[in-house]
Amino acid sequence: MDLSNRPSLIDKTRQRIEDYQFQIRVSEQGQVVSVGDGIIWIKGLPTAAIDEILISVDGCCIAMVFHLMEDLVGAIMLVQTKKLKAGTAMFHLKRALSLPVGDKLLGRVIDPLGNPLDGGEVPQCEEQGLLDMLSPPIIHRDFVNRPFYTGNKIIDNLIPMGKGQRELIIGDNGLGKSSLAIDVVINQKNQNVRCVYVLIGQKRSTVSNTIQLLKEANALDYTTIVVAQATALPGFLYLAPFAGCAIAEHWMNKGLDTLVVYDDLSAHANSYRELSLLLRRPPGREAFPADIFYLHSRLLERSTCLSAEMGGGSMTTLPIIETKEGEIATYIPTNLISITDGQIFFDEKLFSSGFLPAIDITKSVSRVGGKAQHPQIKKEAGRMKLDYMQFLDLEIFTRFGARLDAKMQKQIQKGRLLREILKQDRLSPLPIEFQQAWLIAYNDGLLDPLTVEEIPPVLKKIEQELKKTDLTLGSSREQWKNAVKSWLNG
């Protein structure tokens, strides 16, 4: 190897000395007053700004400015250490918190600062994304006009979603909210959608199970998992959703479609309340600080569908929120309902009756997804939804022993068939062509002769036959009807 043309170390050093400019460098030094519960109080940093990074003089501790007082700065710890104590010197770096972003994060499990949690190497990403950024202005946004398919029969037909939509998943603990979110991520395989799954305040067993399910479904190839466990510092729980948003936002700005799941924002709200109380902020309703609505709106407003001039990327968001005993009128749930573009409500009574996923259609809504729904699906689903809502009303009368005529009895029987059709197992997302097939079969009465017990094998047969056909949503209704007839009679 010819080294003659390479500059020597002496030459490099000489050049640096010649280029060096002598000038006064002024830096502020603060002093730790107290440390505890993931909070640091510091004096002597008069020009510190909110969200600015702080570092101790020995580099053992990194923190972020969270609260400003007249003579003190309140910061949240980002590194757990026992070396930090009162009197330690702290400096501020005059820059906001960021993390690595890019395709090298796909398939990785990281913390909110971008550090690996999967035993792999530190992601070598070329770009950094700020955790907290302004949401895109209105002139950079477009209408939600492209369908986003979840693979779920109820959602894709009755509560349709569009790319760039924010759809809240709400319900009591243990009703299948996270299972639905995992199914949605799995359904994005081969859809050219990059996913970010943010686990906030979850138990280690839950985190491990989620990672394993996504791995077994080969969903990690297009997914990044951001984890802030229940045992993590409160600051990590607070930053986790912003980290996931920053990762997805990078792809959106590149013109790509993304999906972000926040599981769940109840833990995020609780961590923010804990930090605010520790930092002596005045409590408000349910002891939450007054700006909790602004916190979540600031996060969720970053999800949008960008205009073609801005690349046409999108960020679809599924925030999850937990209720107590089905009460959706409490503070955080009502905040998020008003921020998002609709909600998917999980009901405990439906869960107990065996209707899974336990989505209550009467309380669930999608405010913008209907405009993005495919015209054929929209037409067929509209007829089906009307039948189902009428069936739910009629079924109430049967509980009181009311006598029904033959027409009503037939309607109730058809409604029970539909209820069986809408059931769906975990980890089994279905293509949108399957939705078109069973909708036509139901609306045209092709399933009427069947009993409730015969529905599952018939649906399985339709799913298998679909793999052998080249029918698409663009095919005519007559073609679909003839094909479904032949499958059912075959």
Residue 256: which domain range? Answer: 98-373
pLDDT in tens, the chain (490 residues): 444 444 455 565 566 666 766 554 557 889 999 999 999 999 989 999 999 999 988 888 889 999 999 899 999 999 888 888 899 999 888 889 999 999 999 999 999 999 999 988 988 898 999 999 999 999 999 999 999 999 999 999 999 999 999 999 999 999 999 999 999 999 999 999 999 999 999 999 999 999 999 999 999 999 999 999 999 999 999 999 999 999 999 999 999 999 999 999 999 999 999 999 999 999 999 999 999 999 999 999 999 999 999 999 999 999 999 999 889 999 999 999 999 999 999 999 999 999 999 999 999 999 999 999 999 999 999 999 999 999 988 888 777 666 777 888 888 999 999 999 999 999 999 999 999 999 999 999 999 999 999 999 999 999 999 999 999 999 999 999 999 999 998 7
Q: Which residues are catalytic?
A: 367
Q: Could you tell me where the DSSP H helices lie in 159-315?
A: 177-187, 204-216, 234-253, 265-278, 292-300
Q: What distance in Å separates the CA atoms of residue 190 and residue 272, rounded to the nearest whole number?
A: 37
Co-location of 319 and 434 in the same domain: no
In a domain, 13, yes or no: no
Co-location of 327 and 390 in the same domain: no
Co-location of 139 and 233 in the same domain: yes
Q: Is the dihedral of CA 199, 159, 371, 434 positive or negative?
A: positive
Q: Which of 43, 76, 94 is the last residue of a domain?
A: 94
Place of tokens 């603060």: 30
Co-location of 212 and 350 in the same domain: yes
Total count of domains within the chain: 3
Q: What distance in Å separates the CA atoms of residue 122 and residue 104, rounded to the nearest whole number?
A: 10
In a domain, 3, yes or no: no
Q: How do beta strands 39-43 and 223-228 pair?
A: unpaired
Q: What distance in Å separates the CA atoms of residue 159 and residue 283, rounded to the nearest whole number?
A: 36
Residue 51 sits in a domain whose CATH number is 2.40.30.20
Co-location of 335 and 206 in the same domain: yes
Co-location of 65 and 103 in the same domain: no
Q: Which of 321, 346, 373 is the last residue of a domain?
A: 373
Co-location of 133 and 237 in the same domain: yes
